[in-house]
Every structure is written in C-alpha cells, then in structure tokens.
Amino acid sequence: MTPTARVLVGAATATLPSGAGRERYHLEHLAELHALPRGDQVRYALGALATSWALRRALTPEAEMSTIPTPSAVPLLCRLRLHHHWRTEHNEAGEAYRRCTRCGKDATGDPPRGTPKHPLPYG
C-alpha cells in the first residue's frame, strides 16, 4: 500500500463522526486499498477524500424538527414595542382589558398616549 494512499484515506475518515462508524469506514478503505494495484490506490484514496464530506453528512443524524428553533412569529412592531393592534376584550368577571390581535399581549388601563384610534394601515 502506498503511503500517500494511506494518508489520504486517513484524512478522509478523520472527517467522519467519531465512534465505531469512523473506524469501520477506515478499515473498509484500507481493505479496498489492499485489493487494488498500487497504481490505482492513490486515485481510490482521492475519491474517498472527495466524497468524505458527503459521507459525513449521511452519517450525522439530523436534528429533529422539534429542536430546530424557528423565527419568532411575533410581528416586528410588537417585538419593538412600537405598535400593538389593540382590541378590547372582557374577562370572565366582565372586566375590560386590551389584547393585541397580532401578538396576544394583554394590557389593562388606557392605551398609551399617541396610540391612534384606528389601526395603522401598515401596523
């Protein structure tokens, strides 16, 4: 086995996730190299190195959809506390409060000064 092919195969499997899978692929590549004529070993090892990232991706488990954070669904103007789209609601006791129809924020009391009586066309 040529030293160059051995180093290339080592580099190809070094990118794989650690554990039994990495060792298994390393041994399989070495077995393939032993079966090849010396003149083809470097070409095989280069191919293993070129495809090692794809193999790494295939061996790495994907994160479950439930663990991937999603962008907030709260509108930007609500997040920046610049404008809520207030609507008057009543609780079980009949007391009035305000709830933003866009982000669900609840508030009591009078709307802040400067709040337009009609919703902003872009709000």
Query: Which positions touch Zn ion (CB under 5 A)?
Result: 78, 84, 100, 102-103, 105
Cα-Cα end-to-end distance for the chain: 70
Identity of the residue, 36 or 77, whose beta carbon is nearer to Zn ion in the bound complex: 77
Relative orientation angle of helices 20-35 and 3-14, to the nearest 10 degrees: 160
Identity of the residue, 42 or 103, whose beta carbon is nearer to Zn ion in the bound complex: 103
Least distance from C-beta 100 to Zn ion, angstroms? 3
Identity of the residue, 45 or 78, whose beta carbon is nearer to Zn ion in the bound complex: 78
Least distance from C-beta 123 to Zn ion, angstroms? 9
Q: Give backbone dihedrals phi and psi of 96, rounded to 5 degrees, phi first.
A: -80, 145
Least distance from C-beta 86 to Zn ion, angstroms? 8
Residue 111 tokens read as 């709307």
Count of beta carbons in the 10 Å neighbourhood of residue 70: 6
> Which residues sit opposite 86 in a β-bridge?
100
Least distance from C-beta 114 to Zn ion, angstroms? 16
Residue 30 in contact with residue 1, Cβ under 8 Å?
yes
Identity of the residue, 6 or 105, whose beta carbon is nearer to Zn ion in the bound complex: 105
